[in-house]
Structure 1
Amino acid sequence: MKRVVITGIGAITPLGNTVNDFWSALVSGKSGAKPITKFDATNFKTKFACEVTGFEPSPYFEKAELRKYDLFTQYAIASVQEAVTQAQLDFDSLNRDRIGVIWASGDGGVSTFEEQIGAFNAGNGIPRFNPFFISKRISNIASGVISIKYGLRGVNYTTSAACSASNTAIIDAFNYIRWGKADIIIAGGSEASITESSIGGFNASKALSTSNDNYLSASKPFDVNRNGFVLGEGAGALILESYDSAIQRKANILAEIVGGGLAADAYHLTGTHPEGDGAYLGMRLALEEAEISPSEIDYVNAHATSTPMGDRSELKAVERMFASNPQLSVSATKSMTGHLLGAAGAIEAIACIKAVQEDIVPPTINTTEIDPEFKGKFDFVLGTAKSKKIKYAMSNTFGFGGHVACSIFKKFTD
C-alpha cells in the first residue's frame, strides 16, 4: 500500500472564502450565522442560516459561462483552484491519465431545480426550460467540470452519501491512491442548499434550530439546550497525492491521511442509532486501517450537528471507543460553520489538517452546559481554542440513511 499525503487545500465557507480566513475564524470562535438573505424567510420557522458572503465568481468564470453552472459548482471550482495553487500542480508536466476527481454533493443544483420548476409553474405549464437545466442541477456535474477545467482523465465520479458524502469522497480518493490506481486525486464537496425547499423541508422534519432571536448562538453541540442544526453552505477541496509523487515533484506536504472507515447504522431513515453502533464501527475501522490504538488519537472533530439525539448517539460511540483516552480533545466546528451537508466532511477535514499542522484544537462555541451523561468524560474544548500537541486527528461524519465515514489525519514526518 502506498502512503497518501495532502499537498493542497481550498475552502469557500460561511467563515471566509480562503483556507486562511476560514481557519482564523475557527480559532477565533466566530459564528457564521446570520438572517437569511437568499430568499424571503418571513413565513418560515427558521429565518437564519450560515451563508457564504462576499463570494465573487468573476475570477473563476467568464460572465457568459455563469449561466451554465449552479452555485454549488461555482463554489467547487473556487475551492479547487485555491487547493491546486497551493499544491503548485503543473498538470502539463504530470500524467493526466493518473489524476482524478472524486467530488461530493448531497443536493447538487437544488436552487436551479427550484428556479426552473417555479418558472414552469408561473408560465402556466408551458415548457420553457434553460438549456443548461439538467447539467446545472445534476449532482455529479461538479466533478465533471473540475476534470474538464484541468484536463484530468483519471477516475472521476461523485459520492452521494448525504452529510458523510465528502468524507466518503476523501476516503475513496485515499484508497485509489494507496492501491496504486492514481497518483493524485482532487477530492472534496460543495453545497448551495440555503433555499426555500431545503429550509422548509428540514423544518418539516424538525431538524433545524428555530432560535431566531438568538441565531448567533443557535448551534450548540453537546449542550443540554441544543434544539437542532443550522444550515450552512460552501465547499472544501483537498489534493490527495501519493507520497512518491509528492516527493518526486518536491511538493510541500501538509499532512498525511492514514485511515478511513466506512460503515452504516442500518437503523433509521434520518436518525442515528441510539447507541452509536455505526459511528463506533466507522471509527474502529479507521483506527484499524491506520494501525493505531484509540489512545493515540489527540483530537476528534465530531459530526455533532446540535440535534438532541444525534449528538448523544455520537458521544456514546466516542465514549465506547475512547474510554481509555480521557485526554482526548473533542470539538464541533459546526457550532461556527453550520452544517454544510454534503460539503461538511471536506471543510472539517481541512480543520483537522490545520489542527495537526498548527497544534491547535478549534473550539465548540455557544455550548455552556455539557449533557450531564458525558460531562468530564473527555476534554471538551469549549469557547476558546486550545494549544495542544496533535499527531493524529479524526474527522467524523454521518448522514441520513445511516451513512458513516470517519477519516484520520496525521502530522507529516519523513
Structure 2
Amino acid sequence: MDKRRVVITGMGCVTAYGETVDSLFENLCKGNSGVSKIDGFDPSDYDVKIAGECRNFDVSKYIERRKAKRLDRFSQFALVSSMTAFEESGLDLSIPEEAERTGVLIGSGIGGIHEIETQHKRLLAKGPSKVSAFCVPKLMVNAASGCVSIELGAKGPNLCVVTACASAAHSIGEAFRMVQDGDADVMITGGSEAAVSPIALASFCSLKSLSTRNDEPEKASRPFDVERDGFILSEGAGTVILEEYEHAVKRGAKIYAELAGYSATGDAHHITAPLPDGAGAARGMKLALNDAGVNPEDVDYINAHGTSTQLNDIAETLAIRSVLGEHAKKPALSSTKSCTGHFLGASGAIELIVSARSIDDSMIPLTANTENLDEKCLPELNHILGESVEQNVDVVLSNSLGFGGHNASLVLKKVK
C-alpha cells in the first residue's frame, strides 16, 4: 500500500516571545534573544543565573484557573500551544467520525518537575497526608497528551514519547507514521517542557553543560562559536497539526508544508555525549532524506540542533558534511537556539515550526551571537551569520539530538 502524504495545517507555540508563531518567527529573524536573568526563583546561589523563561505566560487567558491548577506548568504550555494550533487549523471535532480519527502525541523530556519539587517540600514540611492527590496526575509525562485530548475531544491514538531533547521530534515523527499508515487522519503533536526550576538548573549546573555568561544573557548562546561555553536552559512548547493531504485539501485548509521524511537512530555510545564523529546523527539524517525521497543536493536549509556546547556542535557539523558530501556547502545552516536557548523536550517541535515558516515565508533565520566560527565546526559550511537570509526554501532538514544517544531528523518539503 502506498504511504499517505502528510501536511502541516496548524501551528502553535509558547515561548519567551509569547504565544504566537508570528512573534516567535519575527524575533528569530531579527536575532532578538529570549534569554534573561531568571526571575521565577532566586538563582543567587547558582553558577548559572540566566534562562529562557516564559515570563508573561498567563494560562487563565485560555482555560479557567480551577482547571489550570490541576495541570503542571509543562501541561499548561502544551495545552495552550495545542489549542492555538488547533484553532488555526479550522478542524471540527464535534463530528464523531472526525474525533475518532484525530489523535494526540505530545512528548516531554522531564515532565512535571515543578509538581515534584512542590510536593516534596510539602512532604518534608507537613508529612505524607498533606501531599496532593493531584501530584501523580500532574507530574506524569503523559499528562500533556492526556489533557490536550480531553480539552479538544480528540479520541484517536493518544500517546507520549520521552527521549530527552529529541522528545518532540520523535513525537512528531511517530505521529507522522500514524497518519501515513492510516491509523489516524489528523495528529495533534509536538513537545512541551517547563524545566527552568531549582533542581533542574542545579543538575545542569553540576553537569557543567550550561553557559555561565550571566552578565550578557542575550549573547550567552553562541552555537558553533569558538567561545561557546554551554547551552541556555529554556521553557516552552510547540504543537503542529499533522493531517493527511487529501483530508486537508478537501476541507480547504491552509497547508504550510509537507512532512515527508523521518528517522530515529541511536548512538549506543554514552548517556550524555554524542559520538565524536556524529555517525549516529549522520545515519539518521541520511535515513530521513531517503524516507522523503530527497537527494542531498535538494536540501535548502538545515535547522541544526546546535546547542552551543563543545561536543554537540562539532559532532553535528561533522555529521552534516558526512551526509551531504560535496553538497554540504550549499544548504543554509543555522541554529535558532542562539536566540531561544534550549527547550529540551520541546525543541524539535518549536524548531519544526520555524522550519515550516521558513518554507512558507521564504526566510531563513540566522545563528545569532556567533562571531568566530570554530574550525572544528567547519566554517566552510553555509553558516547563516550576521543577518537572516531571504530566499526560496523547498526542502528543510531539522535535527534533534538527545541525552541517551537519541537522534531524530525530520524533512519538510514545500507543497507544489
**TM-score band, normalised by shorter chain:** over 0.9
Overall identity of the aligned pairs, in %: 39
Residue 400 of structure 2 aligns to which amino acid in structure 1?
T
Conserved in 2, the CA contact under 8 Å of 1:166 and 1:189?
Answer: yes
Conserved in 2, the CA contact under 8 Å of 1:232 and 1:341?
Answer: yes
Matched, 1:305 2:315: no
SS in 2 for 1:2: coil
TM-score by length of 2: 0.97
Residue 219 of structure 1 aligns to which amino acid in structure 2?
S
Distance (Å, rounded) in 2 between the aligned partners of 1:95 and 1:368: 50
Distance (Å, rounded) in 2 between the aligned partners of 1:2 and 1:305: 34
In the alignment, what sits opposite 1:390? 393
In the alignment, what sits opposite 2:102? 99
In the alignment, what sits opposite 2:121? 118
Which deviations, in whole Å up to 9, do the C-alpha atoms of 1:203-260 show, x marking residues without a partner?
1011111111122111000000111000010000000000011012111111100000
Moved more, 72-81 or 375-384: 375-384
Cα deviation for residue 166 of structure 1 reads 0.4
Conserved in 1, the CA contact under 8 Å of 2:317 and 2:378?
Answer: no
Superposition map of 1:281-320 within 5 A:
281-320=283-322
Which deviations, in whole Å up to 9, do the C-alpha atoms of 1:144-193 show, x marking residues without a partner?
11111122111111100000000001100111111111100000011110
In the alignment, what sits opposite 1:204? 206
* Structure 1 residues not aligned, in runs of 5+: none
SS in 1 for 2:42: coil
Cα deviation for residue 85 of structure 1 reads 1.1
In the alignment, what sits opposite 1:351? 354
In the alignment, what sits opposite 2:412? 409
SS in 1 for 2:10: strand
Moved more, 101-110 or 373-382: 373-382
Cα deviation for residue 126 of structure 1 reads 4.2
Moved more, 35-44 or 206-215: 206-215
Cα deviation for residue 118 of structure 1 reads 1.1
Cα deviation for residue 398 of structure 1 reads 0.4
Matched, 1:63 2:65: yes
Cα deviation for residue 130 of structure 1 reads 1.2
Q: How many residues matched?
A: 412
Residue 402 of structure 1 aligns to which amino acid in structure 2?
G
SS in 1 for 2:283: helix
SS in 2 for 1:182: coil
SS in 1 for 2:216: helix
Matched, 1:33 2:35: yes
- Runs of at least 4 residues off by over 6 Å: none
Cα RMSD (Å) of the superposition?
1.0
Residue 72 of structure 2 aligns to which amino acid in structure 1?
D
In the alignment, what sits opposite 2:380? 377
In the alignment, what sits opposite 1:327? 330
Residue 365 of structure 2 aligns to which amino acid in structure 1?
P
TM-score by length of 1: 0.98
Distance (Å, rounded) in 2 between the aligned partners of 1:343 and 1:166: 5
Distance (Å, rounded) in 2 between the aligned partners of 1:20 and 1:374: 31
Distance (Å, rounded) in 2 between the aligned partners of 1:112 and 1:15: 24
